[in-house]
A and B are shown apart, each in its own frame.
Chain A
């Protein structure tokens, strides 16, 4: 069964450092998403991406965040200057159509110290 793959599975970084979280969506999917989940809390939408541009973003997704699809397969989330409160599980997801259920990747656990 096709999978969304994310790397790394766990990243520890110092406050103020830049991190890049990587995702490879399912190959025939057209819509890509980043969500995050702080430990013990709700899943929160960050951003959606379609046709090589951001289609929607939440209040969380401020100018410290950016996304990129540098080639035909990767989809990355960059946090420019990490804060302690950025510590969370970050999930990448993709879907064939916008109104279909997503397939989530297994997540990257980001720990900012």
Chain B
């Protein structure tokens, strides 16, 4: 079957760095996405990885290792507004369109 695993919840301190991991087992691989979702709101696109390595975008970076079926989202200089759920989603190679979603990691930022 197809599965995406993320920690359920993480806590970090304002100004610190946090790494949210995602492992996946899917029918092939055709890209991995990270989205941010505040409670009651729509997911917001953060990053897209299709090749191995690190993609940096401001305070957020995303890493992919296809051989390990592993990705992480790195958030630096945490701000209180970063408190949200972070969703990992994968497109398998048997689909051009459908994303398979993880359950999300709820990130709690403390002062």
Contact = CB atoms under 8 A, between A and B. Distances in A.
A31 B98 CA distance: 12
Interface in A88-108: 91, 98-107
Interface string A25-58: 0000001010000000111110010100001101
Interface size class of A (residues with CB under 8 A): 20 to 34
B31 A43 contact: no
A31 B96 CA distance: 11
A104 B43 contact: yes
Interface stretch (B19-27, B67-75, B100-108): B100-108
B64 to A, nearest CB: 14
Given A43-B43, A107-B42, A100 B97 contact: no
Interface residues of B, number: 25
A14 B74 CA distance: 44
Contacts of A42: 101-104
B48 interface: yes
B96 A55 contact: yes
Interface string B82-111: 000001010100011111111110000000
B42 A101 contact: no
B97 A98 contact: yes
Among B35, B42, B47, the most chain A Cβ lie within 10 Å of the Cβ of B42
A99 B87 contact: no
B101 A44 contact: yes
B43 A56 contact: no
Interface of A: 31, 33, 41-45, 48, 50, 55-56, 58, 91, 98-107
Top 4 nearest A-B pairs (CB, nearest first) are A101-B45, A48-B97, A104-B42, A43-B101
